[in-house]
């Protein structure tokens, strides 16, 4: 009985809202929830929230940087910093950045605290347009 209650408590709504199992407001699992929280932290520019100026990440400042290894390293640092500060349930194991002229794809390999199973999620953004969010996967 305690395991069922603990599993039920690890569910909630995840953003972005998607149609899943026939409903828009379906419950999501804990990995989906923390991934959603990380996306919100990553795509919120720092100093954009009046009462929480430190919330967010530096990804928005990287949108016009040259496409080189420095950009990949800066994106990795932004993901790791946001996860460490705002999503403490996530342990980031690896950040894989691939970029071309128009798009940047970021894959994050992470695990949940003491859970030994790693999960891989990612997102794609369009360059040179204030990092328009294209999709999360």
Q: Which domains does the chain have, with CATH numbers?
A: 2-136 (3.10.450.40)
As to burial, measured by CB atoms within 10 angstroms (0-12 exposed, 13-18 middle, 19+ buried), residue 27 is middle
| CA atoms in the 13 A half-sphere facing the CB of 34 | 22
Residue 91: strand, helix, or coil: strand
119-126 β-sheet, strand order: 90-99, 103-112, 119-126, 132-136
Backbone angles phi, psi at 79, to 5 degrees: -65, -45
Angle CA(126)–CA(21)–CA(91) in degrees, nearest 5? 55
Q: Is omega for the bond preceding 16 within 30 degrees of 0, making it cis?
A: yes
Q: Which helix (H) or strand (E) holds 32?
A: helix 30-42
pLDDT digits (tens, 9 = 90+) for 5-33: 444 454 555 555 556 566 655 556 777 77
Cα separation values, 48 from 3, 16, 72, 105, 125, Å: 40, 19, 24, 24, 20
Residue range 62-77: average pLDDT? Answer: 84
As a whole number of Å, the CA-based R_g of the chain is 16
* Whole-number pLDDT of residue 108: 92
pLDDT digits (tens, 9 = 90+) for 72-121: 899 999 999 999 998 888 899 999 998 887 888 889 999 887 788 888 88
* Whole-number pLDDT of residue 29: 74
Tokens representing 94 are 């690896």
């Amino acid at each position: 009985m305690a395991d069922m209650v603990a599993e039920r408590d690890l569910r909630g709504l995840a953003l972005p809202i998607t149609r899943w199992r026939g409903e828009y407001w379906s419950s999501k699992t804990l990995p989906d929830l923390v991934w959603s929280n990380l996306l919100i932290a990553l795509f919120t520019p720092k100093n954009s929230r009046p009462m929480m100026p430190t919330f967010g990440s530096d990804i928005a400042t990287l949108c016009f940087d040259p496409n080189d290894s420095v950009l990949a390293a800066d994106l990795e640092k932004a993901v790791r910093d946001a996860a460490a500060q705002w999503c403490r349930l996530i342990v980031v194991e690896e950040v894989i950045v691939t970029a071309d002229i128009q798009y940047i794809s970021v894959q994050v390999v992470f695990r949940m605290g003491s859970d030994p199973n790693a999960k891989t999620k990612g997102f794609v953004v369009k360059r040179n347009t204030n990092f328009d969010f294209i999709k999360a996967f």
